[in-house]
Amino acid sequence: MIGRLNHVAIAVRDIAKASETYRATLGAEVSDAVPQHAHGVTTVFITLPNTKIELLEPLGADSPIEKFLQKNPDGGIHHICYEVDDIIAARDALKGKGARILGDGEPKIGAHGKPVLFLHPKDFNGTLVELEQA
């Protein structure tokens, strides 16, 4: 069921500063910042040879990233994202095994324009997991 690691998401307070750290200090290829209004975040993607890093900055006070940063003021890893071939089949199989799907259980369109779901961190060793249809 689980496919390749699509990205690791890192919550940051200042996406421009964090982007510059990856660009100038690490020499990484860094995308432009893109507001994702439906998810309450601004995203930047850092392209690596084998995966991506997603930087997440809150987009408003109601952003889930704002809540994360209140608990983790220095930022940090927010979630990991795995690809799946069929997000509905993956969702149904996971639910059948007792995993909890966050929200209403229906896929939403994510930052890559593909369907995504989030899995409860308590079911995955304290890690918020995003599934993205490949």
| Residues 60/83, Cβ–Cβ less than 8 Å | no
* Residue 124 CA to its chain's centroid (Å): 15
Comparing C-alpha atoms, which of 46, 21, 22 is closest to residue 32?
Answer: 46
Catalytic residues: 130
Strand partners, 52: 7, 47
Each as own residue / partner, the long-range contacts of residues 100-107 (CB below 8 Å, 24 or more positions apart, any chain) are 107/133
Strands (E), 12-86: 29-30, 34-36, 41-47, 52-58, 76-84
